A and B are shown apart, each in its own frame.
Chain A
Amino acid sequence: MSVEKIAIVEIVDITNNNTPSTALVEAERIANICNACRYCEGFCAVFPAITQRRNFNEHDLEYLANLCHNCGACYHACQYAPPHEFSINLPQTLAELRAETYQKYAWPVKLGSLFHRNGLMVAIAVVLAMILLLSSLLLFQDRTPVFTQHLGAGAFYQVISHQAMVALAGTSFGFAIIALLVSFIKFCRANTITLAHIFSNNVLVKASYAAGTLKYLDGGNGQGCHTKDQSFSNTRRYFHHAMAWGFVLCFLATSVATLFEYSLDIMSPFPVISLPVILGSLGGLGLIVGPLGLIWLKIITDPKIISIKYLGMDYAFLLLLLCISITGFLLLGFRSTSAMGMLLIIHLGFVFALFLILPYSKFVHALYRFVALLKFYHEQAATKK
């Protein structure tokens, strides 16, 4: 009898009583084999989490899937990888299951299907955001400001009214925050993670540290992860840092800018030597280097270890970030010319598109992964006791 035949799956999809997905069944089969083997224990948090269990239910497997960084180490190091009859490919299986959890825990649930054909969805969102912006202009304003030169404080708002900007940004971003929060809570619940867990035993600190430093992309010994072959490298970690911290800096830039406008009554555009522009430019740089590097790595990465099915989601999100950053710099460079109006609309179009699709984009991996890390450190602390 081979292992394939004896994968006893008693997993029942709790939410909608569907039959378990292929990825879920496969993840259970592999988790049982890994639990008997344990050779990969030093690579990342997934294996220590496996060895804490003897059986794996649906939630356990979703948890494991979101602990995984897809670094590929356990594929190349697996003596049971194809062509072995056990045919183990944990990175790919967990990648597919991970994408399924994004869909399952999305809010509203119906919108979870947006994770399929995500590339197309993002493209549509971009177009939609631009149409919205333009039509808000055409409806409420004279169209000439778009193509004329504007200088000095409040110049942006001569192209698109302050109210329109606030209304669009406020609603789309507000909705994104709510949707993300609901998903976060749903995933915490599924993983039986409570506030008490998060705030005891330094769980929050440890999880934040691991997330902030991408600890588990270090391969267990600082050697990094795999992309095109069996060699290790830290490039992915560096590019991801550039992107993630770039994202954070841009977010900060926007927050500082809002603060300037509302509390200090200093109107954008801000001078080149000003906190929002410096933060935004640094962040923007990260958002160019990071996504470009990650796209390059995706292209050269061994297709065996990634989920081809959900590759569109990855590319779409990276490209969107890249577009935001590039148009942001163009806007900065040409803001005193008559091209400013069009550039502003294009830049804002990308930004609003990002807000619109945030809860249905690759962005959510940060959320679920963080929950998984919380659970991991909680479990580690609980077993030590």
Chain B
Amino acid sequence: MTIPSHANVLVIGGGNAGLCAAIAAQEAGAQVVLLEHSDQQERGGNSKHTRNLRVMHNAPTATLDNSYSAQEYLDDLLKVTQGNMDQPLTEFMIEQSATLLPWLQRMGIHFQPSLSGTLSLSHTNAFFLGGGKALINAQYLTAERIGVKIFYHAEVTSIHLEDGAFKSAAVTNRGFKQTITADSVIFASGGFQANKAWMKEIWGCVADNFIIRGTPFNQGTVLKSLLAQDVASVATPEQCHAVAIDARSPKYDGGIVTRIDCISFSIVVNKNGKRFYDEGEDFWPKRYAIWGRLVAQQPEQIAYSIIDSQVTEQFMPPVFPSMQANSIEELAQLIAIEPSVLTATVTQYNNALASDKKTAQYNPKILDQCRTQGLTPEKTNWALPINKPPYYVYPLRPGITFTYLGVKVNNKAQVLMNDGTASKNMYAAGEIMAGNILGQGYCAGTGMTIGAVFGRIAGEAAACQLKK
């Protein structure tokens, strides 16, 4: 089957956002063509790495505890973004999220209670049974069944606009170039984090040491093409979700397993053997997303999380085994840090604890205020002495989840132009427009909600427009 030269609705990108859009449009009566750069096995973009989405609900559901009101949801997002968002649009998205679960279930997606180790999300986030790849499989099966024409190996290389409207897209399909026109287009091709050159433009050589947690296909080609043609942008280019992951991870697609969850029970040093941030500032899920940036600011973008044998069972098991040694000197050699420097750091840390030992009782379940005194930087919770060999170390690098720079949209998911007008036949959903909601910061499960809500709306709107 070759790509047709024209489609009612053209969807670019086959992740969660693209498939929600394609299914919604096809169900509303449009003939949809979906173009996906990857092959069939690697399809699903970043979405295949996800595990949940965040939805408001006023009463418990089969898999979600209690309730999560629109106000709570908004407050959570305002806190993490520090208000750096389009608030009316965010409120609209939250409201729309309330009807997502049954809609997704109709595509054959199943939900389950929160996974072990994620209790903190049990009333806010609905977990996909089998994770994001199972979700993606169900979406592709549904899309195929209802007649969406799906093309793999189909990379959109540029977008052609005329008078603020979509005209055509240039596609490379298995090496052959062609163009496709469409009555409407939905951009769902993700962020640009996998584009090394673009990341280096923003971050400089630092970007050489970034690891991309998700798909290598989110190169931002479509985004770049749009921003070069008078389409309005949102969020600044350096904004992204970044976490500290194991430095030994694959360059792309390492996904969830590469995360390191022992930071709050450890001390973290840079390659000079110095600590640089309060490891015990808050509960780990609340601090998870700041450590990517913290590590990125260190020399050579590397850091080391060091624990002793007291806490080895207190965090989710990481995918790579720790490096271990029976003394701090030996450990230092494993990670090429000057042994005397690392020993001094550990000793200073241990000494800063001694005085306070009686007052606070170590308890990983609460902010225990088991802390250092007079150290720079302090460790303010869960500070146990590091003195029970063997010692373990995990090397850390910045792991980039996705970038926020995107196209500006309204609440019909229509793409806005620089003069503020809405393009009459261009829509966007997912990562490519996440910056409208997330100017900075992140709340677990928002990425998939943005994709599903705006994907659905874009699909319906694009199909509806055909009938006019």
Contacts and interface: CB of A to CB of B under 8 A. Distances in A.
A54 interface: yes
B316 A79 contact: no
Nearest to B116: A51
B175 interface: no
Nearest to B112: A42
B286 interface: no
B320 A77 contact: no
Given A51-B116, A77-B130, A231 B141 contact: yes
A103 B253 CA distance: 38
Interface in B112-138: 112, 115-117, 127, 129-134, 137-138
Contacts of A54: 313, 317
B253 A36 contact: no
Interface in A202-255: 219-221, 223, 230-232
Interface in A68-85: 73-74, 76-85
Contacts of B204: none
Contacts of B313: 54
Given A77-B137, A83-B41, A230-B137, A32 B317 contact: yes
B319 A39 contact: no
A85 B250 contact: yes
Contact of B130 (A6, A73, A81, A83): A73
A77 B131 contact: yes
A33 B319 contact: yes
8 contacts: A37-B256, A39-B51, A39-B131, A39-B133, A42-B129, A42-B130, A77-B131, A83-B41
Contacts of B253: 79, 84
Interface of B: 41-42, 44, 48-49, 51, 108, 110, 112, 115-117, 127, 129-134, 137-138, 140-141, 248, 250, 253, 255-257, 313, 316-321
Contacts of B317: 32, 35-36, 54
Contacts of A60: none
B148 to A, nearest CB: 16
Nearest to B105: A221
Contact of A8 (B110, B133, B318, B321): B321
A201 to B, nearest CB: 20
B111 to A, nearest CB: 8
B255 A43 contact: no
Contacts of A86: 250
Interface of A is mostly: loop
A82 B253 CA distance: 12
A314 interface: no
A76 B319 contact: no
Contacts of B316: 36
Contacts of A342: none
A76 B116 contact: no
B257 A36 contact: yes
A78 B133 contact: yes
Interface in A267-299: none
B115 to A, nearest CB: 5
A85 B254 CA distance: 9
Nearest to B145: A231
A43 B129 CA distance: 7
Contacts of B137: 76-77, 230
Contacts of B134: 73, 76-77
Nearest to A53: B317
B320 to A, nearest CB: 6
A221 B255 CA distance: 25
A241 B346 CA distance: 62
Contact of B110 (A3, A38, A223): A223
Interface of A: 1-3, 6, 8, 32-33, 35-43, 48, 51, 54, 73-74, 76-86, 219-221, 223, 230-232
Contact of A76 (B133, B318, B320): B133
Contacts of A76: 133-134, 137
Most chain B CB within a 10 A radius of its CB, from A82, A83, A230, A231: A230
A79 B319 contact: no
Contacts of A231: 141
Given A39-B51, A73-B130, A221-B129, A6 B320 contact: yes
A31 to B, nearest CB: 10
Nearest to B254: A86
Nearest to A48: B116
Contacts of B321: 6, 8
B141 A79 contact: no
Most chain B CB within 10 A, of A41, A48, A76, A78, is at A41
B228 to A, nearest CB: 33
Contacts of B42: 83
Closest 9 CB pairs of A and B: A39-B131, A77-B130, A42-B112, A77-B134, A36-B257, A36-B319, A230-B137, A221-B110, A42-B129
A41 B256 CA distance: 14
Given A43-B129, A73-B130, A230-B141, A80 B320 contact: no
Given A79-B132, A79-B253, A80-B255, A39 B248 contact: no
B257 A220 contact: no
Contact of A220 (B48, B129, B248): B129
A38 B116 contact: yes
Given A36-B319, A220-B130, 13 more contacts: A2-B250, A33-B319, A37-B319, A38-B117, A39-B130, A42-B127, A43-B129, A48-B116, A76-B137, A77-B133, A79-B133, A86-B250, A230-B141
- Among B130, B132, B316, chain A packs the most CB atoms within 10 A around the CB of B130
Nearest to B256: A37
Nearest to A223: B110
A40 B255 CA distance: 14
Contacts of B41: 81-83
Most chain A CB inside 10 Å of its own CB: which residue of B115, B317, B318? B317
A189 B133 CA distance: 38
A79 B116 contact: no
Given A36-B317, A38-B115, A230-B137, A79 B255 contact: yes
Contacts of A37: 131, 255-257, 319
Contacts of A33: 257, 319
Contacts of A42: 110, 112, 127, 129-130
A235 B279 CA distance: 52
A230 B138 CA distance: 8
Contacts of B140: 230
Contacts of B131: 37, 39-40, 77, 79
